[in-house]
Structure 1
Amino acid sequence: MADILVKKLTADDFDAEKYVQSLSHSSVGGLELQQQRQRVLQLSKETSALLKKNVYNNYMQFIETAKEISQLESEMYQLSHLITDQKSILSMMLEVTISGDKGPGSGLSGVQEAVQEFEDPQEARLRQQRENRKKLSALLENIEGCSHVLEEPERWLVYEGDLVELSQDDYSGQQRVRACLLNDSFMLATWLADRRGPVRYRFETLHLLDALVPVNVKDRGQATNAFKLLIFPDARAFQAPSPKIKSEWLEHLERTKKDRVAAQQKQPTAEHRAPVANPDSENPFLKQQDSVGSRDSQDDDETNPFSWWSSSSAPPQSQVPQTPEWMQELPEDLDQAIAQRNFEDALTLIQRAREYFTQAPKTLVNAEMKRGVETRVKTLVSVVRAELAASGERSLNAGPKAARRAVNILLQLNKQQMACELFLKYRTAILKSALQRLRLEGDTEVYIRHLCAVYFRNLNDTLNEFNKVFASCKSCLPALVVWAGDSMNSFASKFCQHVFSTQSSLTTVSECVSLADHYCKQASKTGLDLRFALHASMSRDLERRVASARDQMLDAIKLRAQDESWQPTKFTDERQLQTFMEEMNDIGVAGLNEYLTDALVLGLTSSVLELVRVMVAFVEDVLRLLVVWPDAQQLLADSLTAVLEAQLHQCKAAVQHPMLKDKVSSCLCDAQR
């Protein structure tokens, strides 16, 4: 037994949770579980003792191995020093050499240095920009979600490094970021601590240099080597690893901003710059012709009546469309509307901004503004989700229209699936709260009546509200059908728990089932028929309850046969006989007058009369169930056949009994009837 346990615990695919679950399922009672626990503890003790024994026997080998590892470590250090010395010697030899190229990492060759010395400054700058562009592409491969940064062709990397973002309140460290200074913007990416592989950062934001001002921050406490970036309308503080890197960041930021301003100032003048002179301009005859031609063209322009239109209608090439004032104030207005729960105003602003972006040119400024608007859209969605979440008595006690406002906001933001999911979760919470408030008072039928009323009222309200709110979203109908099926299964589970798990009679069961089927038929008028789900969830319990009623009748027949005297039923007076006849007529058994053998004697025994009463009630209950459970017809026929066969068997046994020979006529009369 211990060997089998060891094999199980040392297997490659051993799973502790599955092993515990299998023990819990296979064990009978707490005693067997205690025995299993003792076996595992005993195995643990044996393993621990064996481990200690092995350590004691091999401790000398452990010591020798540790010595060898220490010696190997010292040899590796010596080898590292030797390699470093050899590298420095080789570097010195390459620097001393006259015609040889320098090694990798030691700078450029003498020929390349000479070429760079006489290289055109503009070409050198373009070459440097291309190299920085390649560096930017290589850097962005390690940052997730920043492919749009390379969409601008005239963008390259100036400086980059790791920083720690500080809190504005106490200048405590918040997160590690990767900062990249580009020639026209400043990019931030957050560190992914749980990520493995080359992509270790996620893109956060991209700020234009025009809206960014670097500010030095004095050292205070633990916040050393810090600087601040004023980014309207906010500010962010960062901490550099060392004072040198901090000064480099501030220097590069200032110089890049100046270069950016200078480039923007040179751009309009470059567009109006005169064309490059043609070599043919040195020809004096061509100059004379040009002067004559220019005078002629000037005269033609003066006499041309359409010259004023052609000159005035041509727009300047340097004209750039400016962002409207309302668009610049949009982020602040959106934040204010969301904070004040003015969702309709926020939605209007978002729709207006989206219309503007569809018509506006695709510039870097518009892309950044669009990204800011989409960020606030996510904020609005999260706030609306919180409004729609079914938490607290206020939302759970509200009517079906309470969630319409939030759902409409999500629908207009093109969040149909989210709106549908949240709406159905909201209705589920309301239904669950209403069912929990039901109290089990009175008999089972009264409780089931209240249960059906609460559930189907909530179901009808949900269906009607869904048809109003999601009338144009046909794709959400499958979610409604799935939700209705799940809610019906929950209702049926609660229904079966109170109807079939208690000692309720078959009459009570049939009444409760008929009541639930009636409510389900009324709910189908809204367009969703869930009777199939109700019937499927009750079929097994109904079959078990009908079989139980049949077995009770069979047991009752055996008990009555033991005490049966096989005498005709006699009445004391005419009034008692008349009352008996009326009772039998009420349950549907008529025509018993023909069995009267005397004025007050009925030619049927008491056991037969009692069997008739029970069978009539049984048939009525099962027929009531046939509406819900059509398969019960065969079960009803089989049950009645079994009951009648049992009664005939008792009559046959009485006829063959030697002590009941004088009562054979009564037994035969019961059997024939």
Structure 2
Amino acid sequence: MLSFFVISVSIIFYHVYSNHLEWKKRKEEETTMMWHKGQPVKFQDSVINTASVPITMIAYKPIPQQGDGPLPPEVKKIVYNGGSLVRFREPETPPVIDQRKLSFNPIKETEEEHEQEEEEEEEESRASAVVPSPFIPEWLLEVPEDLDVLIVERHFEDAYNLIEKTREFLNETQPSTGRESLDVSFVTEMRKKLDTRVDTLTVMLTKELKVTPEKSLQGGLRSARPFIRVLNQLNKASLSCDLFLALCSSILRAQLKRVRRDGPALNYVSSASTVFFTNLSLMTTELQKVAFPGTGECAAAFVVWATREFNLFVSYVIRELFVTQSSLSSLSPCIAAVSTKCDQLTSLGLDLRYLLDGALRGPLTKALKETRDKLTDTIKLRCSEDKWKPFNLNNRQQRDKFLAEFSEAGLTSMTSYLTGDCWLRLSNNTILFTRLYLSLLQDCFQLATSELLYSIEDTLYVVMQHQLKHVDASLRNDQLADEREFIVQNADFILNNLLTLCENKFEQHFQFKSKKLETKEKVEKLCV
């Protein structure tokens, strides 16, 4: 009895399992088309998009417009499958099994769980995958992976070109273009992937341009050109401008550190000025013609950056030059060198001269005042030792050298003061003052700016006034009555030769005459 029961159960299980396998196989081979209000909504038990999977239905009778469910038997179906039209018959209904007979089946529950898991995995895979259109090119599907490879291998320009190519293709296949369009979900997913790769590319380019202590600056701005160009093409002009200016700052500081401090301040400041302004000129040209050509996106930021860097450089120059006991003779060539280099930037559209004049006005005004006080003390000391005796040139060689020196300075009438071969009807004090005053005038011309004009004129006036006071006092001194004629000759030389020459040079340089010449008129009256 027991064996008969076991055999019966085995036979029933065999038939049920065979029917189930046959039904499952038929289900995989056939396609069930579900309808809702006359429109296909299911294809192999999953929602489809007719835009991506074309479906052709041929019916001999009107298709029902209401209710859900399979087509009636009299409606013939043809569905699109892999590029061909395939006719399907109505799926057979799986056999109905008496659940009471299977209630004792020991593997039923496990089998149902396994089928449910398979269905869930299949639904998840269909939900996660984007169903591509049949005309999607193979290269488009591989774009994300190709971009990852190009970015890792640092082929940034190729990566940008591929991004632009993909964007153009996606735009050309939109429904509004009238061409065969892509699936909307596929396009959305592809655009998200492109945006992610653009962000990654931006991060990599920023890393390449960012200055770090371990990174070499030997390549300079030339090595940064491709990175700047790609960032600009990605519409990241603001970011590329900031990185470009930060790189320029690092290059400037590195170049200035290489300038040697050997020798006098003039040599060092001249070398530093050459390095600074040469690099600034190259950076200006790089900005205008290479990095940001034909656009003003970075112009304002560059002017602000150049102003900041120039102020730092000028403050550095001031610390180097304006130290204790710095003479005007040592300052003026350095300032002139910096001013000349600064003026050369004007041809590139960058005028920083007003910043230089403003920064140097205070220190130079103080330097002019200190120079004036030192020279007046020197004049007082020499005047106290003046014996009003003719100056001996010793020999003809010294005489010729003396005449050439003063002739080069503009005093061509010195030969009229010669007596004999080597004697000059001018005192040693007058000769020393002439050299001092001509040197002071030349130094003032090198420092000349509109802000320093008053200080320069005052310095020239005060120094000349002290010398003329000495002449005036000597003419009034009764003890020097015997040397009066000689003193008058020296006064005539100072007034009609030296001072006249200085007036003409002053007017030629500043384009106006000096008004502080009242002392000259007073001394002229004494010489009558």
TM-score, normalization by structure 1: 0.49
Q: Aligned to 1:264, which of 32, 47, 68?
A: 47
Distance in 2 between the 1:604 and 1:639 partners?
25
Please say if residues 460 and 523 of structure 1, whose CA atoms lie closer than 8 Å, have aligned partners that are also in contact.
yes
Asked if structure 1 preserves the Cα contact closer than 8 Å seen for 2:220 and 2:251, the reply is no
The residue correspondences of 1:104-503 to structure 2 (distance < 5 A) are 264=47, 274-276=64-66, 322=133, 324=136, 325-358=138-171, 359-360=173-174, 363-364=184-185, 366-392=187-213, 395-466=216-287, 467-501=289-323, 503=325
The separation in 1 between residues aligned to 2:280 and 2:48, in whole angstroms, is: 69
The amino acid across from 1:423 in the alignment is F
SS at match of 1:346: helix
Report the alpha carbon displacement of residue 641 of structure 1 after superposing the two structures with TM.
Answer: 1.8
1:591 aligns to what?
A: 413
| Matched position secondary structure for 1:378 | helix
For residue 463 of structure 2, the aligned residue among 631, 643, 668 is 643
What is the match of residue 555 of structure 1?
Answer: 377
Query: How far apart are the structure 1 equivalents of 2:464 and 2:259?
Result: 43
Q: Aligned partners of 2:48, 2:153: CA distance in 1, in Å?
A: 43
SS in 1 for 2:64: coil
Please, what TM-score do these two structures have when normalized by structure 2?
Answer: 0.61
Report how far residue 383 of structure 1 moved: 0.8
Percent of paired sites with the same residue: 31
Q: Which has the higher contact order (CA 8 A, sep 6+)?
A: 2
Distance 2:346 2:391 in 1: 52
Task: Report if aligned partners of 1:622, 1:632 keep a CA contact under 8 Å in 2.
Answer: no
Amino acid at match of 1:451: A
1:525-544 → structure 2 map (5 Å cutoff): 525-544=347-366
1:615 paired with 2:437, answer yes
- In structure 1, the partner of 2:523 is none
Q: CA RMSD in A?
A: 3.6
Q: Deviations over 1:516-570 (max 9, x none)?
A: 3333344433343433333333333333333332222111111112322333434
Give the Cα–Cα distance (whole angstroms) in 1 for the partners of residues 324 and 464 of structure 2. 28
Moved more, 615-624 or 574-583: 574-583
- Residues 421 and 511 of structure 1, relative CA distance in 2, 3 Å threshold: same
The answer on whether the counterparts of 1:577 and 1:600 sit within 8 Å (CA) in structure 2 is: yes
- Cα distance 1:564–1:326, how it changes in 2: closer, same or farther (>3 A)? same
The offset of 1:435, in angstroms, is 0.6
Shift in Å at residue 419 of structure 1?
1.2
When residues 573 and 520 of structure 1 are mapped into structure 2, their CA distance, relative to the original with a 3 A threshold, is: closer
> C-alpha distance in 2, partners of 1:489/1:386?
29
Instruction: Give the whole-Å Cα distance in 1 for the aligned partners of 2:49 and 2:183.
Output: 23
| Deviation readout 1:611-651 (Å, 9 max, x if unpaired) | 1110011112222333xx24444443322221222122233
Contact residue 570 and residue 600 of structure 1 kept, 8 A: yes
Distance in 2 (CA, whole Å) between partners of 1:662 and 1:583 is 31
- Per-residue Cα deviation, 1:253-273 (whole angstroms, up to 9, x for no partner): xxxxxxxx967389999x997
Per the alignment, residue 605 of structure 1 pairs with 427
- 2:317 equivalent to 1:518: no
Q: Is the 8 A contact 1:489 1:533 kept in 2?
A: yes
2:365, 2:214 → 1: CA distance? Answer: 41
Aligned residue in 1 for 2:78: none
Q: CA deviation at 1:488?
A: 2.4
Unaligned runs of 5+ in 1: 1-260, 278-311, 313-319
CA shift, 1:446, in A, is 2.0
Q: Which amino acid aligns with 2:368?
A: V
Name the counterpart of 1:20: none
Greater CA radius of gyration, 1 or 2?
Answer: 2
Q: CA deviation at 1:356?
A: 4.3
Amino acid at match of 1:264: V
1:548-602 per-position Cα deviation (integer Å, ceiling 9, x unaligned): 3222211111111232233343455565555443443343333234345677553
Matched residue type, 1:436? K
1:405 deviates by 0.7
Extract unaligned runs of 5+ from structure 2: 1-43, 68-84, 86-130, 175-181, 495-528
C-alpha distance in 1 between matches for 2:189 and 2:265: 65
Please identify, of 554-563 and 473-482, the stretch whose mean Cα deviation from structure 2 is larger.
Answer: 473-482
Q: 1:647 to 1:471 in 2, by over 3 A?
A: same
Q: Deviations over 1:64-109 (max 9, x none)?
A: xxxxxxxxxxxxxxxxxxxxxxxxxxxxxxxxxxxxxxxxxxxxxx
| Contact in 1 for aligned 2:256/2:272 (Cα 8 Å) | yes
Give 2:133's aligned amino acid. Answer: Q
Distance 1:588 1:552, change over 3 A: farther
| Alignment coverage as a number of residue pairs | 371
Contact between 2:395 and 2:421, CA under 8 Å: does it hold in 1?
A: no
Q: CA separation of 1:445/1:370 partners in 2, compared to 1, >3 Å: closer, same or farther?
A: same
Q: Aligned-pair distance for 1:450?
A: 1.9
User: For the structure 1 residues 528 and 624, does the alpha-carbon distance in structure 2 shift closer, same or farther, using more than 3 Å as the test?
Assistant: same
- Whether the 8 Å contact between 2:238 and 2:298 is mirrored in structure 1 is yes
* 3-state SS in 2 of match to 1:534: helix
Distance 2:204 2:156 in 1: 9
Residue 97 (structure 1) aligns with: none
* Secondary structure class of the residue paired with 2:212: coil
